[in-house]
Amino acid sequence: MSHAHTPRPLTSHRSGPFAGRLRVPGDKSISHRALMFGALSTGRTRITGLLEAEDVVNTARALTALGAPARKTGDVWEVLGRGVGGLTEPSAPLDFGNSGTGTRLMTGVVAGQPITVTMTGDASLSRRPMGRVLKPLKQMGLQVLDGDNDTLPLTIRGSSELVPITYALPVASAQLKSAILIAALAAAGETTVTGEETRDHTERMLQFFGAKVRTQRHGNQVAITVTGEAELKGGDVVVPGDPSSAAFLAAAALISPGSEIHIDGVLTNPTRIGFYDTLREMGADVTFQNERSEGGEPVADLRVRTSRLKGVRVPPERAPSMIDEYPILAVLAAFAEGETLMEGLAELKVKESDRLAATAAGLVANGVAARVEGDTLIVVGAGPRGVKGGGRVVTHMDHRIAMSFLIMGLASDAPVTIDDATFIATSFKEFRPLMESLGAKFEG
């Protein structure tokens, strides 16, 4: 299967005001987990609102190849569960495309199955390190058959006799934590992961499916314990709207005069809304309405109105709750008055691209004063003068860089062009039609 493609440039023009009420696609993190936990359960799991982006569809295909068919009927995805330890060896390598989440969580799934699996991905994913996830799983009993290799393609062999461990996370990574907790389902005894607080979707959804999960807090440190030899039961899952996808729409409304939009059913999990906390500090008119719970997760409807923004300092401890939103926050900071300092962004250097350098370069290409100092991104806002635009942004195959700078072009003086819009589909293929339904002008 070839991953080569022809780049598709796309240009955004000054548009607005934006108005309308809409839903964004389902949350990516929860979509991956709903499929995987459905496969590790007994019985059928029915999922409504699943994000049908390439990353998630690749996870569905991988589970189908592992003997737990995941198929769409009408608007609902159904997974036929095989129970913990009940998956079968696939006849071919599992291709994860561009998905770091899918790959890393799936190593946790495979760890508890006595099967051999080869995992592959595209050029970008094949450069991303997997060693962090493999280390604890090897302690539990996973075998890596490629020796010391820690990038894809990888061949791993799971075990029906995993050993429970206690593991201190070296970095605040929800993917790493989740891979261990998923493997823990198959271990005999209790597995505990300790570290800084990160996204807690895995813990919430494991409980929703019937696993025994215990969380203990000490200051900003959290210890999560999962009881192994678990029996998960399939059920109905509603996937809330992705707050990371909603961030792009919210940003467009904030910087385009006279806008007011409503985004329904967005996930408001406290570990995921650092971006919205930051917006309020900047003076943004963003409110959560009709707050409720769906599938073990908190949800609300968002109302966003045009606002005059001011520069702020974003502290490093907020990074885990908004790690995907820094590129779009940097674009908003360009329109704000004063300097915005985003601190503690080391993790952005190992995302789909060096997202920190790519964000700064895109800003500079469009006449915005921006620089990186260590792990801090500093953006000098243009305020009422407005952003010049007119630049061409190199996306480095990174969907979030692509969408962020397209949003910039909707409110800058001159149009903004990105070198390749292809990768937007990995997380948010409805981005263009949804933005156009609100009044955005794109060309290309």
Domain boundaries, the chain: 10-26+240-443, 28-238
Q: Are 415 and 11 in contact (CB under 8 A)?
A: yes
Q: Can you tell me which residue has the tokens 């806002």?
A: 381
- Reported as a single tens digit per residue, the pLDDT across 219-254 is 889 999 999 999 999 999 999 999 999 999 999 999
Residues in a beta bridge with 222 = 195, 217
- Reported as a single tens digit per residue, the pLDDT across 386-421 is 999 999 999 998 999 999 999 999 999 999 999 999
Burial class (CB in 10 A: 0-12, 13-18, 19+), 160: exposed
The predicted model scores a pTM of 0.83
Q: Tell me which residue of 358, 346, 331, 322 sits closest to 244, measured CA to CA.
A: 322
Rounded CA separation 318/271 (Å): 9
Task: Look at the alpha carbons of 409, 260, 290, 270 in this order and tell me if their dihedral is positive or negative.
Answer: positive
Q: Are 131 and 147 in contact (CB under 8 A)?
A: no
Opening angle at CA 423, ends 408 and 120, nearest 5:
150
Collapsing DSSP to helix, strand or coil, 344 comes out as coil
Quickly list DSSP for 174-234.
HHHHHHHHHHHTTSSSEEEEEEE----HHHHHHHHTT--EEEEEETTEEEEEEESS--EE-
Residues with catalytic function? 324
Opening angle at CA 143, ends 139 and 147, nearest 5:
105
> Which conformational region is residue 162 in: left (phi greater than 0), alpha (psi within -120 to 50 degrees), or beta?
beta
CA separation, residue 1 to residues 6, 134, 338 (Å):
15, 26, 48
Quote the DSSP letter at residue 265.
E
Opening angle at CA 404, ends 403 and 406, nearest 5:
65
Rounded CA separation 340/213 (Å): 39
With a CB cutoff of 8 Å and minimum separation 6, the contacts of 147 are: none
CATH number for domain 28-238, candidates 3.30.70.260, 1.10.150.530, 3.30.379.10, 3.65.10.10: 3.65.10.10
Burial class (CB in 10 A: 0-12, 13-18, 19+), 42: middle
Rounded CA separation 400/322 (Å): 13
pLDDT tens string, the chain, 444 residues long: the values are 445 689 999 999 999 899 999 999 999 999 999 999 999 999 999 999 999 989 999 999 999 999 999 999 999 999 999 999 999 999 999 999 989 999 999 999 999 999 999 999 999 899 998 999 999 999 999 999 988 889 999 999 999 999 999 999 999 899 999 999 999 999 999 999 999 988 899 999 999 999 999 999 998 899 999 999 999 999 999 999 999 999 999 999 999 999 999 999 999 999 899 999 999 999 999 999 999 988 789 999 999 999 999 999 999 989 888 989 999 999 999 999 999 999 999 887 766 668 999 999 999 999 999 999 999 999 999 998 999 999 999 999 899 999 999 999 999 999 999 999 999 988 898 999 999 999 999 999
Q: Return the half-sphere exposure (C-beta side, CA atoms, 13 A cut-off) of residue 27.
A: 28
Burial pattern 64-75, b for ≥16 Cβ within 10 A else e, equals bbbbbebeeeee
Q: Tell me which residue of 439, 142, 212 sits closest to 306, measured CA to CA.
A: 439
pLDDT, position 1: 41
Task: Please give the CATH superfamily to which domain 10-26+240-443 belongs.
Answer: Enolpyruvate transferase domain (3.65.10.10)
Rounded CA separation 330/364 (Å): 11
Q: Are 13 and 409 in contact (CB under 8 A)?
A: yes
